[in-house]
Amino acid sequence: MGDVHARARVGIVGAGQLARMAQQAAIPLEIDLHVLAEAGDDSAAKVVPATSVGDYRSLEDLRTFAKTCDVLTFDHELPDPAHLQTLAEEGFCLRPGPAAKRFAQDKAYQRAELGAHGFPVPANATVTTAAEVAAFAADHGWPVVLKAPRGGYDGRGVFFVADEIEAAEAVARGPMVAEAHVELVRELAVLVARRPGGEAQAWPVVETVQVAGILRELVVPAPLDANRMEEARALGLRVAESIGVVGVMAVELFDTGSELLVNELACRPHNSGHWTIEGAATSQFANHLRAVLDWPLGVTTQLAEAVVTVNVLGRADGFDPAVGLPAALAVPGVGVHLYGKAARPGRKLGHVTALGDDPQETRARARKAAGALGEGIADG
Amino acid sequence: MGDVHARARVGIVGAGQLARMAQQAAIPLEIDLHVLAEAGDDSAAKVVPATSVGDYRSLEDLRTFAKTCDVLTFDHELPDPAHLQTLAEEGFCLRPGPAAKRFAQDKAYQRAELGAHGFPVPANATVTTAAEVAAFAADHGWPVVLKAPRGGYDGRGVFFVADEIEAAEAVARGPMVAEAHVELVRELAVLVARRPGGEAQAWPVVETVQVAGILRELVVPAPLDANRMEEARALGLRVAESIGVVGVMAVELFDTGSELLVNELACRPHNSGHWTIEGAATSQFANHLRAVLDWPLGVTTQLAEAVVTVNVLGRADGFDPAVGLPAALAVPGVGVHLYGKAARPGRKLGHVTALGDDPQETRARARKAAGALGEGIADG
């Protein structure tokens, strides 16, 4: 185990859209992808013949699945860190390993460790009572951002509290990481691929447009001057090196105008990297597979002056994006991706990526194609 | 049938590398690909969950498979034209239809029809005896090219005969299409995608480098002046329109220096279009699926100044290209494709595509990556 050869069996825990898009990258490299799905009709299960159905919360199911694979990697951050630790100790090859993965799984640990290593992060503290939140606010002001240490994503598990009464409601759910609310110019993401020996590549820095904590749009490159761009890229690479990740990771940043702060980490391919499928010489999915197999990474050059990705979220009226597919394909120069998921309000059902010469024109085309699929960001 | 909706089930007869690469294009469009494989470990069967095993030579197997699909298309030219005609008459949606497909399946028919419609083709005649070959040679000179009307590909079924004795040997196999041997400057291919209503797109014209009748290398764009380039492109589009193809077709041309002649037709995605996966805004596989579903076609723009594809053929010593995969991936800016096939001498096992600014430098990188996979064209 750990010595990974050609025709490797790469197991992905989880069978969402990330695993589904990984299959597109696995096919030409003759990588035998296996997925551990929650159900036989999960997004990736529909396109990966070697699908196992099991519970990622069960150590036994994880172990049974791991035995069918040469290397184990992840579609999400949800497996129990203790289970991953056990599997690593049993000799299974986990990439990223449990120590790196924990940075994306446990926000309290991540904040403490990054801060201790001198990385710029928002002021933070672990809190269990409303009084502790109020004490934190006395130093850093209201509102305070409270984050559940585990399990949150797409805005879930994140609470903006304006006073002690709202704080009491939030901490009733359990201990939280309190963070100072940061005034932003924009949010950024740096995507990094890293091999076990440390060879790493960062893609161009992305501006991420979030609405209610959910990523809606990517603009590549982010509208930064060359110095800030390089600062962000270098910060992403330093974080990847510091936590020892193997595979692709996303380092999400706050740009306050005067400084960059590390916001969130994801130790897997990430929504902020979807633009790389059409827009970069090597996609995040190809480089993730190459990294976890310890194969040479592909170049991360951007292929067009402007790249814009727009997510397609499920509408309240249950509109099925597949119905709009021909209309979306009629928009020139746009890559369309549907995830094979049933339409539910707010659910990520697909995305589109437009390439062009001008950011505004490119964004307009991306929004037009996304609009055909039912996405309403242009109106929102 | 024929009215094709979102989440369409597209059935491909055959499960070789073309069907395998079609799966990469099907996934993001939420197209439910089905393949009719000869064996469960066929190239595409390894990556398509909806694989049926059956015999493409059997009308009953074809019909059983067709019943599971909304539209039927093809990985190869080998199904019996009479079977396809029967299925079309039974109401199954075949794209391309039997009438267009016959142009790629029956060389005698193709030569007669193209000639009758005024398309430039080499001088030709159907022959059944050595004396008829000799009479043809009296007008057109030796050698004569004899082609089996059906089933030939990759140089199989093609005989260069220098005299009546060799001709006798060849015609002992059955009736042949005799063709004048044409002195070439180069061979070209024009790839066209066409929808049922006639909307069509051609990709940039490709130079194909053949060795012993097997395609080994593609250079895109072909080194032609603008007039000849446009002449080739227009000829490809006229042929597609004339035969009424639906889907992607390849029109292979001889460039004699003074004129262009139609050599072969393939009514399916084709080796000469593999460069489009990395090198064009829309791949031949994506546009084939879009065309057979009557969805808007994607733009066919070339994404780099120079694109070179090199095929990887099985070596005499049985070298497994997958062993060379990490070395091939270490060559920058090259897309690597392995087909999941067992190594056998002369078998097409994969290809690589390099993008660059300069044709020579780009070809050198492509050959280096192909060389890592065991391909010896650079030495040959």
Average pLDDT across chain B, whole number: 94
Average pLDDT, stretch A62-67?
98
pLDDT reading at A155 higher than 80: no
CB contact under 8 A, A27 and B21: yes
Cα separation, A125 vs A133, in Å, equals 9
Average pLDDT, stretch A292-315?
96
pLDDT reading at A154 higher than 70: no
Q: In chain B, which residues have their Cβ closer than 8 Å to the Cβ of A320?
A: 6
pLDDT reading at A152 higher than 80: no
pLDDT tens by residue, A335-344: 999 999 999 9
Residue A380 pLDDT: 45
pLDDT tens by residue, B176-222: 999 999 999 999 999 999 999 999 999 999 999 998 888 999 999 99
pLDDT tens by residue, A37-51: 999 999 999 999 999
Residue B6: which of A298, A322, A332 has the nearest Cβ?
A: A322
The H-assigned helical ranges of A201-273 are 226-243
Least confident of A96-100, A203-207, A212-216, B352-356: A212-216
Residue A376 pLDDT: 79
- Do A279 and A355 form a contact (C-beta atoms < 8 A)? yes
Q: In chain A, which residues have their Cβ closer than 8 Å to the Cβ of B21?
A: 27-28
Angle made by CA atoms B278, B281, B287, in degrees to the nearest 5 = 95
C-alpha atoms less than 13 angstroms from C-alpha of B167 in its C-beta half-sphere: 22
Residue A149 pLDDT: 87
CA distance B305 to chain A (A): 12
Global ipTM = 0.94
**Residue closest to A77 by CA, chosen among A57, A52, A61:** A57
Q: Which residue has the higher pLDDT, A377 or A188?
A: A188
Residue B380 pLDDT: 45
The stretches in chain B having pLDDT less than 70 are 1-5, 152-155, 377-380
Mapped to the 3 state alphabet, what secondary structure does B35-103 carry? EEECCCCCCCCCCCCEEEECCCCCHHHHHHHHCCCCEEEECCCCCCHHHHHHHHHCCCCECCCHHHHHH
Q: In chain B, which residues have their Cβ closer than 8 Å to the Cβ of A32?
A: 46
**pLDDT over 90, % of chain B:** 93
Q: Which residues of A touch B (CB under 8 A)?
A: 6-7, 20-21, 23-24, 27-30, 32, 46-49, 51, 281, 290, 295-296, 298-299, 303, 320, 322-323, 325-326, 329-330, 332-333, 335-340, 355
Residue B326: which of A295, A322, A333 has the nearest Cβ?
A: A295
Angle made by CA atoms B307, B311, B313, in degrees to the nearest 5 = 170
Average pLDDT, stretch A356-371?
97
pLDDT tens by residue, B336-380: 999 999 999 999 999 999 999 999 999 999 999 999 999 976 554
Band the pLDDT of A296: cuts 50, 70, 90.
very high
Residue B153 pLDDT: 64
Residue B329: which of A32, A48, A295 has the nearest Cβ?
A: A295
Cis ω for the linkage preceding B96 (within 30 of 0)? yes
Q: Which residue reads 């759910």 in tokens?
A: A173
Interface test with A, best of B47, B201, B297 (most A CBs within 10 A): B47
CB contact under 8 A, B325 and A20: no
CB pairs under 8 A between A and B: 89
Cis ω for the linkage preceding B196 (within 30 of 0)? no
A152-189: b (≥16 Cβ within 10 Å) or e? bbbeebbbebeeeebbeebbeeeebbbbbbbeeebbbb
Question: What global pTM score does this model have?
Answer: 0.95
Residue B108 CA: distances (Å) to CA of B157, B249, B279 = 13, 19, 35
Residue A326: which of B23, B281, B296 has the nearest Cβ?
A: B296
Q: In chain B, which residues have their Cβ closer than 8 Å to the Cβ of A298?
A: 329, 332
Q: State which H helix or E strand residue A271 sits in.
A: none
B326: nearest CA partner in chain A: A295
Band the pLDDT of A2: cuts 50, 70, 90.
very low
Interface test with B, best of A52, A325, A357 (most B CBs within 10 A): A325
CA distance B170 to chain A (A): 39
Cβ atoms within 10 Å of B320's Cβ, excluding its own: 17
Q: State which H helix or E strand residue A65 sits in.
A: helix A59-66
- Do B138 and B163 form a contact (C-beta atoms < 8 A)? no
What are the beta bridge partners of residue A254?
A187, A261
Cα separation, B83 vs B13, in Å, equals 12
What's the Rg (C-alpha) of chain A? 20
Residue A1 pLDDT: 36
A287: nearest CA partner in chain B: B329
CA distance B251 to chain A (A): 25
Angle made by CA atoms B304, B310, B311, in degrees to the nearest 5 = 140
What's the Rg (C-alpha) of chain B? 20
Interface test with B, best of A10, A29, A300 (most B CBs within 10 A): A29
Q: How do beta strands A158-161 and A144-147 pair? A: antiparallel
CA distance A68 to chain B (A): 16
Residue B325 pLDDT: 96
